Chain A
């Protein structure tokens, strides 16, 4: 199994990109007792401008906390996709939300899935970020699905309906990517 992962979740403010990164980092560090670091970039606006979170997962000490050599880039919105589309390496898995993004040529391995539709079908239209996390989990196996489910349960503690919808959204991502 690959030991170290550098992952970027990108999109616009309000899409839950920080939450995706946070859940992944917490699942790996708190549940699986490995190392994780997450940093984020966003503007002064609350919603609607470019936002990303960088997550690095490793079995050992992580020095520089930002992604320098991405293994995976997730883009949920066109402005984020456009930033990365022509600068990625062939080894990078470029995972994008095809409901928002118009595909362009890229050196990266592109996988586009209708994440908004998938979230809506799971009964959680706002959980596009969690669908993406499910797809990422299935395609990379960088984390155990049960670890993410445990962190979702902790995060949405006391909000049973929201938790249920997010678990479904996560499973929808897992299943679609597993096909």
Chain B
């Protein structure tokens, strides 16, 4: 690879190339629209760099395979859409419980079930957070451009390795299939998985003994090496032996949540546009953030002080950033291609109880900038000053 190269390509290609740049060398998946190009490109590109591609019999096996490959020391990923993510939830819990780094690409399409196979949606936000049972933290990133597909995929692998956790990259059909120029650059400063100190003797090893380390992340030597590595989806102790003691369960379940939430300042990524003087804040993500940016441009042309807070991290939720954005605003509008999954979170951090209005669309078409402008006009009709529109 050159040090950098401009390509005009779809988001799905940038995701596959981002995974390779991040050092991913194992893919297992079952193709599904609108994510299939990721599998196609991974099948061609991984063997070129000494990696492995396997087409599995279904999504349950796909995530099982990437968990296994990751345990054996390879950065691993799979790509799917909502129906596949639904099937993956059980083993996602295994990855959470066993603290296995892996990346799950969800190119969202309209649901529930097989839904509208070729149409976009952003309806998997809450599934990513709570789809697998039991308390746990999770990381989910949402790109809104082809460049972000590349860059955030690299970030997803870094977070996954750093915090020993599965990470979602939540694209959507628009972003996955949209073509734009992007810069394919070498990934600098990649996170390497923490390994035991070389002085530690082989044999029995406490692979879950996070309390020994200041950052509360235990080293993870590869399965099959000199350290004995026990994976267990049932509650286990530091060495991976089944353990039903209540204090042990309490410690580990809180750890799964805390290792994400306590590092939220490192994980949360947002971008602000024209927020300095914004009376009206558009909070959005993924493809709908593009609609919000266009609405902001049109509203500013009319002299209205509209700003955009774009969420690139969905989980852990950007609570501080949203609270700060709403602090001086008269109202917030949340455009999203679902029926209010992010708007409900935004409302939780709305300390002054300003109006929070959803602009929602679930018909498989993008939210247009005009629909967002209509929502702003609706606020005007409710007595909030909004002169120009």
Contact call B174/A65, Cβ cutoff below 8 A: yes
The answer for the CA separation of A36 and B182 in the assembled complex, in Å, is 11
Chain B interface residue count, CB cutoff 8 Å, equals: 22
A-side residues, CB < 8 A to B, are 21-22, 25-26, 29-30, 33, 35-40, 42-44, 62-66, 68
- Chain B residues whose CB sits within 8 angstroms of the CB of A65 once the complex forms: 174, 178, 180, 287, 290, 366
Asked if A25 and B8 make an inter-chain contact with CB atoms under 8 angstroms apart, the answer reads: yes
CB distance from B386 to the nearest CB of A (A): 21
Per the 8 Å Cβ criterion, residues 134-192 of B in contact with A are 174, 177-181
In the bound complex, CA of A141 to CA of B290 (Å): 27
The B interface is mostly helix, strand or loop, or mixed, namely: mixed
B293 within 8 A of A: yes
Which 6 residue pairs across A and B have the least CB separation, nearest first? Answer: A64-B294, A26-B8, A29-B181, A63-B293, A63-B294, A38-B179
CB distance from B96 to the nearest CB of A (A): 34
The reply to whether the CB of B368 lies closer than 8 angstroms to some CB of chain A is yes
Pick the contact of B180: A33, A37, A68 (CB < 8 A).
A37
Q: A70 to nearest B CB, angstroms?
A: 14
Question: Are B181 and A42 within 8 A (Cβ)?
Answer: no
Given A26-B8, A36-B8, are A64 and B179 also a contact pair (CB < 8 Å)? Answer: no
Between B33, B181, B369, the greatest number of chain A beta carbons within 10 A of the residue's beta carbon is seen for B181
Residues of chain B having any CB pair with chain A under 8 Å: 6-8, 33, 117-118, 174, 177-181, 287, 290-291, 293-294, 297, 366, 368-370
Q: Is the CB of A30 within 8 A of B368?
A: no
A42 touches B118 (CB 8 A): yes
Binding site of A, secondary structure by majority: helix, strand, loop or mixed?
Answer: mixed
Measured between beta carbons, the chain A residues less than 8 angstroms from B366 are 64-66
> Is A37's CB under 8 angstroms from B291's CB?
no
Pairs A–B under 8 Å by Cβ, sample size 10: A26-B8, A26-B179, A29-B8, A29-B180, A30-B6, A35-B181, A36-B181, A44-B118, A63-B293, A64-B369
Most chain B C-beta atoms within 10 Å of own C-beta, residue among A21, A35, A44, A63? A63
Within the complex, the shortest CB–CB distance from A66 to chain B, in Å, comes to 6
Residues on A with C-beta less than 8 A from B178 are: 37-39, 65
Q: Residue of B at shortest CB range from A33? A: B6
Q: Is the CB of B8 within 8 A of A68?
A: no
Q: Which residue of A lies closest to B119 (CB)?
A: A41
Extra contacts, 4 of them, besides A21-B179, A33-B6 (Cβ < 8 A), are A29-B6, A63-B294, A64-B290, A65-B290
For the complex formed, measure the closest distance between the CB of A3 and the CB atoms of chain B, giving whole angstroms: 15
